[in-house]
Structure 1
Amino acid sequence: MSPTGTIEQRDGQHVLVQTREFRAPIEDVWAAVTEPERLARWIGTWTGDPATGSVRFAMTFEGQEEGDAMLIRVCEPPHRLHVTTQVGEEQWPLELDLRHEDGITTLTFRQPGIRPEQVGEVAPGWDYYLDRLVDAETGADPALRSWEDYAPTASHYTDQL
């Protein structure tokens, strides 16, 4: 697997940045990252009422059933979804920004505040899940992806620190 992301600096923090492109309308990609049944094809699902500003998100492909609280910080369909998710005792801000141009929708994923000791595991993990999203949206089978193919890419990210 070829790693795709970079580690950038923003406001004195490390920011993981990864992009994916889709030959699809922006509304389709937005639905793939916001609708529970579409999310379920590649990562997990959420329950609750997003109008309250939070939902419970379960990474079903990590074996989660109950899910953890996810705060919705920004939701501007179909362009921006910024959330903060609970991961154990930690909170992770995650940013999804979509742009459409010339028949291509580009999804830019960011995780600001990623700590150097997390990068080697977290960054390849997001490559894995974002590739599963591409599979789900292009008709490929996300289940054919193996995490073991992504783990060796950790040095691509840690070498950027």
Structure 2
Amino acid sequence: MSFMTTLTPDADKVIPTGRIERVDGDYVLAFDLQLDYPRSYIWSLLTERERVAKWLGNLLDDWAVGHAYELDMDGGSASGTVLQYNPPLSLQITWEDELGGESVIEWRVLESAGGTLLQFRARTESSDFLTEGSVGWQTILEGLEAGAAGRTPDTGGDRWAPLREAYSREYSLSPSMGTVRKESGHTSVHFDRLLDADRDTVWQALTDTVRFSRWLAPGILQLQVGGEIKLDFPTFTLEGDVSYVLNDQALEYSWSSPEVRESSVHWLLSPAGSKTLLQLSHTLRSPGRTDVLLGQWHDRLDALAVMLAGGEAHPSAHRLDALCKFYRRVYGTGQASGGSS
């Protein structure tokens, strides 16, 4: 799905209409829509290709049990297999996105209150992109409602970010995606991650050489203003200077890599109950590849979460490449200027 779909900027609508539940260790995203249309009409919106194209994407072939399908969706794509096709009651498919994430999607179409109750369920093992996916499916289902009424879905404005935060807050789940912002006139790559560890533990993971070598890169860090940071990545060595330290809370150092010559990395930690909100801002002061930086930081922050959970991260070149391509599609070619000094 297109995670970055923009929505009408109406504060009253920036609320989750879906639920995220845990069922047998999986995550289940659930929507229940009461629609004032006949059941047969709603079923046609789910199954007739010309109607599916108006709210979901271009279905390259008809749904058929046991057969593979492909969907072209607003620059993205999805594919999978049809598990169940039971007119006019239910349609169940596997769903694999461009990053390799898998889930099982089911629509159930029930007669209710003189109209139709449309039940949507998406089940997955992982919480990766779950807040973003929740916003994406809410947007898509709002598009289905608009299409059912003969309206063109309203894609003006942007409530994607606050709606993602609303899902994250209500269900205590971490956002996954990074974003591109402007900070003090400079382009900045930004991530918010809700980590399942206290602030001291996360601070040690950022600053202790043994710990950060497990998820970021081997190296050294002198934890004082003017101190040295050196990180030995597989393809280059980063050498920079620490410019700011606030113990257990904030850290900033300079950064130069093949993707950007002049930049700075700023970490901010805030307690969030038993968890910690980590905010990462990588600010560019010269032209740089934001798509690559987003993909690389996304990959490394995933590794940090794995380490904090007691596991060992195993780098995947295929996963990293898929992340960079994903961010390139969302944000363009990624060659951004750093802004004025």
Q: Distance in 1 between matches of 2:124 and 2:65?
A: 25
Q: Distance in 1 between matches of 2:16 and 2:168?
A: 12
Q: Distance in 1 between matches of 2:160 and 2:115?
A: 26
Q: Distance in 1 between matches of 2:104 and 2:65?
A: 18
Q: Which residue of 2 aligns with 1:79?
A: 89
User: Structure 1 residue 120 and structure 2 residue 137: aligned?
Assistant: no
What secondary structure does 1:115 align onto?
coil
Evaluate the alpha carbon distance shift between residue 129 and residue 100 of structure 1 in structure 2; reply closer, same or farther with a 3 A threshold: same
**CA drift at 1:74:** 1.1
| TM-score between the two structures when normalised by the length of structure 1 | 0.86
Q: Which residue of 2 aligns with 1:15?
A: 28
Q: Which residue of 2 aligns with 1:149?
A: 159
Tell me the amino acid that sits aligned with residue 16 of structure 1: L
Task: State the structure with more CA Rg.
Answer: 2
User: Which aligned pairs between 1:10-159 and structure 2 lie closer than 5 A?
Assistant: 10-51=23-64, 53-60=66-73, 62-64=74-76, 68-88=78-98, 89-113=100-124, 115-142=126-153, 144-146=154-156, 148-159=158-169
Sequence identity, in percent?
27
Tell me the amino acid that sits aligned with residue 90 of structure 1: G
CA contact (8 A) 1:94 1:111 kept: yes
Tell me the amino acid that sits aligned with residue 41 of structure 1: K
Structure 1 runs of 4+ with >6 Å offset: none
Evaluate the alpha carbon distance shift between residue 146 and residue 43 of structure 1 in structure 2; reply closer, same or farther with a 3 A threshold: farther
What secondary structure does 2:129 align onto?
helix
Larger relative CO (CA 8 A, sep 6+): 1 or 2?
1
Q: Distance in 2 between matches of 1:49 and 1:23?
A: 26
Q: Which runs of 5+ in 1 are unaligned?
A: none
User: Aligned residue pairs: how many?
Assistant: 157
**CA drift at 1:49:** 4.9
CA contact (8 A) 2:47 2:63 kept: no
* Per-residue CA distance 1:79-135 (angstroms, 9 max, x = gap): 111100221222221111111122121111111115323222110110000000000
| RMSD over aligned Cα atoms | 2.0
CA contact (8 A) 1:80 1:98 kept: yes
Q: Which of the two has greater helix per residue?
A: 1
| TM-score between the two structures when normalised by the length of structure 2 | 0.43
Evaluate the alpha carbon distance shift between residue 91 and residue 133 of structure 1 in structure 2; reply closer, same or farther with a 3 A threshold: same
What secondary structure does 1:59 align onto?
strand
Tell me the amino acid that sits aligned with residue 59 of structure 1: D
What secondary structure does 1:50 align onto?
coil
Q: Distance in 1 between matches of 2:157 and 2:27?
A: 24
Evaluate the alpha carbon distance shift between residue 122 and residue 59 of structure 1 in structure 2; reply closer, same or farther with a 3 A threshold: same
Q: Distance in 2 between matches of 1:15 and 1:40?
A: 25
**CA drift at 1:69:** 3.1
